[in-house]
Structure 1
């Protein structure tokens, strides 16, 4: 059974996301749990610790609103939420609940909210020997002619015991006498029918009456019993009893049969003549009132007809006995059994039961979010009771079947409150009978607005023409925006984004009414001094998280700037980039394998970076530091470890919604590097031509690499000089640039040699302008290295980047000094070394 994991968030919106995210991941209805308890348990008796058995947290049961739904109609069980125990809260009588059925199960449904779950629990009620066998008639008179031969059998009344199994009637006993013995005939339905058997001839003149006691004994512990007095009257003459053609008559009848419908006929014959051979049929003395209310028998013909309404769902089979008596003196009778099966017809409409319904539903709920838990029920049997539940194809919902005719109603596509704020979901239940019966139920699902629409300005940009010396305090222009959301999500406030106009904040020139978007001038303008400026207006709603849209107002006269994020290491490669690393097999626990570094140019929580090992060939071998991204060994490498290890590292920020990236690191474990050196030294004592060639190849390779490195850096220098002449931005120092007011430039170069990662950081910046960053990353344990030029969006944001690096790379020393560089060009060079 799958289990829920709680994650507390500070805002209601985060709680909604958490809730529906786990709806998507979890199976909605878990497997069944069964308990067995004896009937007649005391109030408060513990059935079982259901929280422990289902893997639930006891302290969360009250908050998650656990409740019990019983299909029995009456609630016999309750929950002790403080202990997580299922307890008995009412008297349980198995005979009242299940009658004579061998298996007695009480199905329960445990519904838990936040997140929504449904558990099926079955309580098996075990029978206890709390009922004694009993006879419907305490006194029975049996008339037997004195001429009856020994061996004649006379059926007696069966005892009734509501208990089942070993607690039901097991045997019969007859009081001690000289003429009769008792035998028990086992009926095929499991009943035991006692029969009185004549052992010695009767003599009415010697003893006209015999008084016997019939005792029924059950198999319980302790044993229970019941008695009935049998009075045998010895009669004269009429020496032949009626004999039925069959011992048991069987027939089927439809449950919709009307009164007086003939079901079957029993027939008995009597070898006597006259009144001694005339037969009348009647129900046996022990026949129950239920049988007498449902059926009737014609005394003269033996025809059994329908008397009352039959119902297959109440009783699918009826068994009773028929007696045939002659009119002789004394009367003689014969007995037979009748078994009537009630044939089911499709007379019950399927029922749709809504166990739980979640409404309203956030409109951003992902596909597969559970909306409701449903079940279908039909009292008929066989195909008549098989129900198919469907949902209207026009709605963005579908049904997922689960156990025991249960379904979950889930979303089947995106929801948009702005297009449709509620859905009337039509559910249809159809059985498989002939003719088919069906029912429908309408579920109203309302959508909860989420802030998924940003404010939209009436124009993307506005142009305002104003006269020189325009009076201050007057309205320059009014901007307007609309939001398709509702409530706070659609409430808009206007603001002006801060920017500089001739080194002065734009707020010194204009201000905006946050409620209606009217822009006012702070003072008059001089055309000769300022010909045009721009106002960046932002419309922001009050949703959580809030959404915003910007529009530019050209007043003919301002400028604006946007920030852009910067990536430090391993470079702004494609998502899921692959990094190749090597490590010795002799590595011990804590060995630094590699280091992953990422920077988010955002601020606050959105810039908090965390690293996580998402997947690994062997998760027990490696670990990733949550904050620094260092990949280290958790234990020493063993010979059994695979030579090739693959790690998938997930990088997340703490923003909302969370943004993430992944880096795949391929690690090749090799023998210690000093081992080949030892082998070479060992072979030095045996010089040969082959050894000389290898030495020559090594020298040539080293020389080639050195020359190639020198040529590469010369090419980069030439490119840098050319680009600096055309764009005014370069990695070299340039003191004669006309675009810069302050020629005081500063570069800081740092070499990091921690572990196998080698990289150089070149930083430059100006507090009043944009900044640039140069980085060359060289890893001897990787196939590729980078040379990267990055232009962050602003000096202020780059300072925040540096502060993040201080937190994530504690072994490095970072400094930042003033400089001024061009803010018109952004370049990125990547060269594989």
Structure 2
């Protein structure tokens, strides 16, 4: 009897990724196939719609899908796409809403693995989900109320609530309009993440004796082929003199916080000064973000501007936040600043293993190097916290090795890089 040695090789390269995937292959046949294809489909296709002729595109006889017990495996918990082995087709099993699947992340894709048996074969399939203009911009409040002192000079700025739009790209929020335009103009400021803040700029000084109140209509529009829009009313009350607006000492604050930090953790303290005296110089601080996830996660002390953690922060769920902070005095004048918060990863996730395919038995004369199983290992942590080291028991007639592979879908769609480890257990 030949003496067999255990061979282990499964050390991941140092590369910062949101998750790491490791595939192990236990050899039972010298024949092994690894290939990939990509498709692109719009969201909201009805159930039963065809995604692609996978048999034709991979050069397979559809009978091979039946004899090889073809199966598809998805990383996502919901099986949106299924395999029709009789026709060799991939079809929509559950209607896909791109916004629910990927939120604002682009590109949005499903990563699928198809396996065959006898002999074992592995195919990777990437399905890009493209956006359709199925969401109109909307404001989370029915009206905006602003108090402005009549002594406010042209150039005074007033931050407005920005609209939300679940669509992305050209179908997402693109522009605003304000009517009437007798006293105010709009100015948009793009953030690094592509979100546009909207501010109303006073163009002509107000006169309370002539008009005590103004009503404006703010309209948000997307860029779809058929433009969708949403509106909100702005009610402006004109007050007597308060001629100095608050001014922040900094326009941008940068903060680092560990994930899983406890509620109440102090993140930053912002300060705005107002040259006015008395009640006109009293400043109140607000978080002006309208996203519920942001408002639930952070808290600001209205009196002193101290920002604390108000929820459970998780790097794997969201690694970056941006807070829009507004300081407003009693006369309605305001200034704004931004808090950029980066969440630091800690090693709080264990690797998980999933058996993709496994032979039910092997013959005693099986050749060395034959595949007997394929195993997928995921660790959602990043960088060194997500690097996976794998081994099997000593003193058994199998060995495990791994080979780093890169899957690059069609460049005309977009490019994704998926790290995979192909490991071999030798008989």
TM score, norm. by length of structure 2: 0.87
What is aligned with 1:27? 32
The correspondence for 1:313, drawn from 292, 316, 320, is 316
Determine helix, strand or coil for the equivalent of 2:335: strand
- Rate the CA distance shift 1:179–1:340 in 2: closer, same or farther, 3 A: same
Task: Kindly indicate whether the alpha-carbon contact (under 8 Å) linking 1:287 and 1:321 is maintained by their aligned counterparts in 2.
Answer: no
Alpha-carbon separation, structure 1, partners of 2:233 and 2:251: 26
Contact 1:280 1:300 in 2 (8 A): yes
Q: How many residues align?
A: 387
Residues 144, 233 of structure 2: 8 Å contact kept: yes
Q: Is the 8 A contact 2:157 2:335 kept in 1?
A: no
Match of 2:16 in 1: none
Instruction: Give 1 or 2 for the bigger CA radius of gyration.
Output: 1
Q: Distance in 2 between matches of 1:83 and 1:357?
A: 25
Structure 2 residue aligned with 1:180: 184
Change (3 A) 1:54 1:80: same
Q: What corresponds to 1:120 in structure 2?
A: 124
Distance 1:209 1:192 in 2: 28
| Residue 145, structure 1, aligned to residue 162, structure 2 | no
Gap runs ≥5 in structure 1: 1-21, 413-833
C-alpha RMSD over aligned residues: 1.6
Aligned to 1:768: none
Q: Which residue does the alignment assign to 1:214?
A: 218
Task: Provide the secondary structure at the position in 1 that maps to 2:293.
Answer: helix
Map of 1:399 onto structure 2: 400
Which aligned pairs between 1:373-412 and structure 2 lie closer than 5 A? 373-402=374-403, 403=405, 404-412=419-427
Q: Structure 2: how far apart are the matches of 1:280 and 1:139?
A: 21
Q: Does 2:70 align with 1:66?
A: yes
1:259 aligns with 2:263: yes
Matched residues in 1 for 2:92 and 2:401: separation?
33
Matches within 5 A, 1:191-270: 191-270=195-274
1:85 to 89, 94, 97: 89
Give 1:360 deviation, angstroms.
1.8
Please say if residues 374 and 406 of structure 1, whose CA atoms lie closer than 8 Å, have aligned partners that are also in contact. no
> 1:190, CA displacement in angstroms?
0.8
Q: Return the offset for 1:34.
A: 1.2
Residue 292 of structure 1: SS of its match in structure 2? helix
What CA deviation, in whole Å up to 9, does each residue of 1:530-578 have, x standing for no partner? xxxxxxxxxxxxxxxxxxxxxxxxxxxxxxxxxxxxxxxxxxxxxxxxx
Matched, 1:303 2:303: no
- Is the contact made by 1:373 and 1:406 (CA closer than 8 Å) also made in structure 2? no
Matches of 1:287 and 1:246 in 2, distance apart? 22
Cα offset, 1:23, TM superposition:
5.0
Distance 1:147 1:384 in 2: 57
Match of 1:282 in 2: 286
Contact 1:374–1:409 (CA<8 Å) still a contact in 2? no
The separation in 2 between residues aligned to 1:142 and 1:346, in whole angstroms, is 46
Task: Return the alpha-carbon distance in structure 2 between the equivalents of residues 118 and 406 of structure 1.
Answer: 13
Greater RCO (CA < 8 Å, at least 6 residues apart): 2
Q: What's the offset of the Cα at 1:63?
A: 2.1
Structure 2 counterpart SS, 1:97: helix
Q: Which structure features the higher share of strand residues?
A: 2
Aligned to 1:373, what secondary structure does the other structure show? strand
- Show the counterpart of 1:804: none
In structure 2, distance between residues paired with 1:256 and 1:41: 38
What corresponds to 1:713 in structure 2? Answer: none
Structure 2 Cα separation of the partners of residues 364 and 107 of structure 1: 37
> Structure 1: which 4+ aligned runs deviate by more than 6 Å?
none
Contact kept, 8 Å, 2:165 with 2:172, in 1: the verdict is: yes
Does structure 2 conserve the Cα–Cα contact (< 8 Å) formed by 1:261 and 1:305?
A: yes
What per-residue deviation string (whole Å, max 9, x for no partner) do you get for residues 261-300 of structure 1?
A: 111111111011122222222222x432222221111222
1:406, CA displacement in angstroms? Answer: 4.0
- Cα shift readout 1:711-731 (whole Å, capped 9, x = no counterpart): xxxxxxxxxxxxxxxxxxxxx
Aligned-partner Cα distance in 2 for 1:250–1:137 = 29
Give me the TM-score of the superposition, normalised by structure 1: 0.45
SS across alignment from 1:405:
strand
Residues 492-571 of structure 1 aligned to structure 2 (within 5 Å):
none
CA contact (8 A) 1:377 1:405 kept: no
Alignment partners' CA distance in 1, 2:205 and 2:326: 24
Q: 1:280 to 1:259 in 2, by over 3 A?
A: same
Q: Residue 149 of structure 1: CA displacement? A: 0.5
CA deviation string 1:226-271 (max 9, x = no partner)? 1111111111122111111222222110002112111111111101
SS of equivalent to 2:263: coil
Cα offset, 1:332, TM superposition: 2.8
What does 1:424-439 align with in structure 2 at a 5 Å threshold? Answer: none
